[in-house]
């Protein structure tokens, strides 16, 4: 299997030579097994025990095993790895026989002479069998479960590729020797499997829902239809979906009887959940409640696609606490040109808010230009889980069936918001006023970001919120609290904090007033007004009164100026460039990047200015012009806080020094963006000085000491999983003297899906590579 080194065992004994055991033997043979025998032992063997002698004989004929017997005890001597591939209900007898045949010391110590593992679909039952047989859990016992199979059975169905790219879950106990776990893992890796670890009870709960319940339903459905008078007609005209779903009803009945018996409690719990859901759907059908049906169907359909996408991109660990399986790298060749006319994806901030406000509104909200990135999709999915019917997205179009201010329903589990700090902070305010409890979770990057800045003022309003150590996610929000309006002076300029408190203020008694020390983006205020909710502003303070309602309104999401920035900088630094970016949002609280680039000398013009849904938009036309270093005005910093990674690249290509101050907020983004960019600039050879609240960057213009037209060198950059760092250094390659390789770029999809394709379309030379990473 891809050159994987076979396990270093003297003899592997497979107990049960059916599909699973036979396929294991076939996979080991295909991997080049026998391998090197253990030190001091004779030739390596694969042997098997099965009560059916004909299966043993067939396994030998197929070349899968060297020998076998219908009796277990004679085969145990000399075996170093024993795999129990028997039905769960047969496990007690097999364990007892092994306990009698093996000397106790063979399974003990830091490096047991013998390791035992199994393939059972339930783990608690097998663990109980081991305790009954051995009186303890031996150090050499490693319980396991390959998530693979077929409706076929018997050694004749053995498939050497059955485990390739499939998960194998190991559930070692505290007593299990790490050396034994490593040996079992090596065996499964040799078969091409991805090996994970999980707690026994968690395993049984997860598999009851993802494997056992679907099998139970398939058996029941086929049995129900097969007992009807018109069954021949039913099966004759069954479509592909029916065949796909009911295929698993052809699985081994005895095996599944044993599984359902052994994992009874978890199966019944999952069946209870399913019956409750089926009851809700039945009531919706009986009542002709189209919105309720749409909510259920749409939530299910998009959950299937959404979680598939996240799992494949390794950014969401839904069922298993697994290590990342792959890492995305950008490889940007030096040079290139920038020209054309493009439209970048929709504004992420407005996309988030369009779903939030549309869900709370009365009526149907149609959204155009919705950003179909992971962050926005996470927000959309969260509202589906709270009972909101949402159609789409399809080519940027989303239709939200609003449930009103008090129509949200308690989700069945934590709400996952991915990498979206905006979503988590805005959700905190919105959910603080609900009647039900909720928990907000995110990916590894978001878990490191500070949430005390919203939790603390929400507590002043009467919210009850629990955070992890240091005020970090996850956030546990206790519903049913009576919120009261407050006057809050924000210690830092943050549109997310302001928006969080305004959303909480919708549910609070009295007025909620927020004063900001510097202007921040005002999308929330503008969009609330667009939904008919009065928000007032005077000077640096905005406020609203709780108890009102939102009325559905259409939204045309402008292109995201943060996404446009990478192409603005690309054109600004590359001689000969001529680029138009269409329908870009130019909200006055977001145009810091335009002002800063103009101060640096960029040839940038705004054309076709207009207003769409309360938000000003324009086409941005930019051509190359030499840039100069500047002292960035402090009043522009809050207006460009997300655009600075790209602006640092502009500064590196300018003549003279660019100085940034008052940008402490950059240190608590997806990464410490000041330090991350400084480290990358150092790799490229750009002179700079890091400050506590900013940075000085000495631009080189067209440095004659570099390659022709280059401002700096190349190198390998660690983006730290920060999408803006990754995209900034991709743009930097336009003026680099050598290739720039940027690691850990998967999160670019969170804000800018299709970035590399669009970059190539306007002339950048960038490609993507995925590298396998094993735990």
Q: Which residues are catalytic?
A: 642
| DSSP labels, 32-57 | T-S-SPPTT--S-EEEEE-S-HHHHH
Does residue 515 have a known ligand-binding role?
no
Does residue 23 have a known ligand-binding role?
no
Does residue 421 have a known ligand-binding role?
yes
Does residue 466 have a known ligand-binding role?
no
The verdict on whether omega for the bond into residue 236 sits within 30 degrees of 0, i.e. cis, is no
- CA 580 vs. chain centroid, Å, equals 33
- SS3 category, 596: helix
Does residue 412 have a known ligand-binding role?
no
Neighbours of 283 (CB within 10 A): 11
> What does R_g of the chain's alpha carbons equal in angstroms?
30
Q: What is the largest CA-CA distance in the chain?
A: 89
3-state DSSP: the chain helix, strand, coil percent, rounded to 5? 40, 20, 35
Edge-to-edge strand order for the sheet containing 536-538? 487-489, 511-515, 541-545, 536-538
* 332 in Cβ contact with 733 (< 8 Å): yes
Does residue 251 have a known ligand-binding role?
no
Does residue 280 have a known ligand-binding role?
no
Does residue 724 have a known ligand-binding role?
yes
Does residue 353 have a known ligand-binding role?
yes
CA distance linking residue 470 with residue 452, whole number of Å: 8
- SS3 category, 421: helix
Does residue 661 have a known ligand-binding role?
no
Cα-based distances in Å from 301 to 242, 297, 306, 758: 17, 6, 9, 29
Does residue 563 have a known ligand-binding role?
no
CA-nearest of 381, 329, 327 to 352 is 381
| DSSP labels, 485-507 | --EEE-SS--HHHHHHHHHHHTT
Neighbours of 672 (CB within 10 A): 15
CA-nearest of 598, 744, 763 to 671 is 744
CA-nearest of 545, 523, 548, 559 to 354 is 523
* 718 in Cβ contact with 677 (< 8 Å): no
Feature table: binding site for phosphoenolpyruvate: 348, 421, 449, 496, 673, 724
Feature table: binding site: 348-349, 353, 421, 449, 494, 496, 642, 669, 673, 724
Feature table: binding site for 3-phosphoshikimate: 348-349, 353, 494, 496, 642, 669
């Amino acid at each position: 299997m891809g050159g994987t080194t076979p396990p270093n065992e003297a003899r592997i004994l497979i107990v049960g030579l059916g599909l699973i055991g036979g396929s294991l033997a076939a996979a080991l043979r295909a991997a080049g097994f026998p391998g090197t025998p253990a030190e001091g032992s004779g030739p390596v063997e694969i042997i098997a025990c099965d009560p059916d002698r004909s299966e043993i004989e067939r396994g030998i004929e197929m070349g899968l095993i060297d020998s076998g017997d219908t009796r277990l005890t004679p085969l145990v001597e000399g075996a170093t790895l024993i795999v129990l591939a028997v039905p769960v209900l047969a496990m007690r007898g097999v364990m007892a026989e092994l306990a009698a045949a093996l000397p106790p010391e063979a399974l003990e110590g830091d490096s047991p002479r013998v390791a035992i593992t199994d393939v059972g679909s339930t783990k608690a039952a097998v663990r109980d069998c081991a305790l009954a047989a051995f009186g303890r859990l031996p150090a050499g016992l490693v319980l396991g479960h390959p998530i693979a199979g077929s409706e076929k059975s018997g050694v004749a169905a053995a498939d050497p590729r059955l485990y390739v790219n499939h998960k194998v879950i190991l559930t070692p106990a505290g007593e299990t020797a790490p050396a034994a776990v490593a040996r079992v893992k090596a065996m499964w890796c040799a078969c091409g499997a991805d090996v994970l670890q999980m707690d026994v009870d968690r395993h049984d709960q997860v598999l009851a829902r993802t494997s056992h319940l679907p099998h139970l339903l398939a058996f029941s459905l086929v049995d129900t239809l097969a007992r009807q008078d018109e069954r021949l007609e039913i099966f004759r005209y069954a479509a592909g979906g029916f065949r796909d779903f009911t295929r698993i009803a052809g699985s081994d009945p005895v095996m599944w009887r044993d599984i359902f018996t052994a994992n009874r409690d978890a199966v019944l719990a999952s069946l209870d959940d399913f019956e409750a859901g089926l009851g809700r759907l039945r009531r919706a059908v009986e009542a002709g409640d189209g919105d309720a049906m749409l909510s259920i169907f749409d939530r299910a359909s998009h959950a299937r696609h959404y979680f598939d996408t996240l799992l494949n991109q390794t950014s969401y660990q839904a069922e298993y606490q697994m290590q990342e399986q792959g890492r995305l790298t950008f490889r940007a060749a030096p040079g290139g040109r920038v020209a054309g006319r493009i439209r970048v994806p929709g504004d992420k901030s407005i996309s988030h808010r369009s779903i939030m406000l549309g869900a709370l509104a009365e009526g149907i909200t149609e959204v155009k230009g919705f950003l179909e990135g992971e962050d926005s999709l996470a927000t959309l999915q969260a509202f589906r889980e709270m009972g909101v019917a949402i159609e789409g997205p399809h080519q940027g179009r989303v239709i939200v069936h609003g449930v009103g201010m008090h129509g949200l329903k308690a989700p069945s589990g934590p709400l996952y918001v991915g990498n979206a700090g905006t979503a988590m902070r805005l959700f905190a305010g919105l959910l603080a006023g609900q009647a039900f409890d909720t928990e907000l979770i995110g990916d590894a990057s978001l878990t490191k970001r500070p949430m005390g800045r919203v939790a603390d003022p929400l507590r002043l309003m009467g919210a009850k919120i629990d955070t992890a150590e240091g005020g970090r996610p996850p956030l546990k929000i206790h519903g049913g609290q009576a919120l009261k309006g407050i006057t809050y002076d924000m210690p830092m300029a943050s549109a997310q904090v302001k928006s969080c408190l305004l959303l909480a203020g919708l549910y609070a008694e009295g007025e909620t007033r927020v004063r900001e020390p510097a202007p921040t983006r005002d999308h929330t205020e503008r969009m609330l007004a667009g939904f008919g909710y009065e928000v007032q502003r005077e000077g640096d303070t905005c406020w609203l009164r709780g108890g009102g309602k939102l009325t559905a309104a259409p939204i045309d999401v402008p292109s995201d100026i943060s996404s446009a920035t990478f192409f603005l900088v690309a054109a600004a630094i590359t001689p000969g460039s001529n680029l138009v970016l269409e329908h870009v949002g130019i909200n006055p609280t977001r145009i810091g990047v335009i002002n800063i680039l103009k101060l640096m000398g960029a040839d940038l013009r705004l054309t076709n200015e207009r207003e769409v849904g309360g938000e000003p938009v324009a086409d941005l036309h930019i051509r190359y012009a030499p840039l100069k270093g500047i002292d960035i005005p402090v009043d522009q910093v809050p207006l460009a806080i997300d655009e600075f990674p790209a602006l640092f690249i502009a500064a590196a290509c300018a003549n003279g020094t660019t100085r940034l101050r008052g940008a402490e907020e950059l240190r608590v983004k997806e990464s410490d963006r000041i330090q991350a960019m400084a480290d990358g600039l150092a790799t490229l050879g750009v002179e700079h000085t890091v400050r506590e609240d900013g940075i000085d960057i000495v631009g080189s213009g067209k440095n004659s000491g570099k390659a022709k037209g280059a401002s700096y060198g190349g190198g390998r950059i660690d983006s730290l999983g920060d999408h803006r760092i990754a995209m900034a250094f991709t743009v930097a390659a336009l003026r680099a003297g050598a290739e720039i390789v940027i690691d850990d770029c998967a999160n670019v999809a969170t804000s800018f899906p299709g970035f590399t394709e669009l970059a190539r379309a306007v002339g950048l030379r960038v490609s993507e590579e995925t590298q396998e990473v094993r735990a």
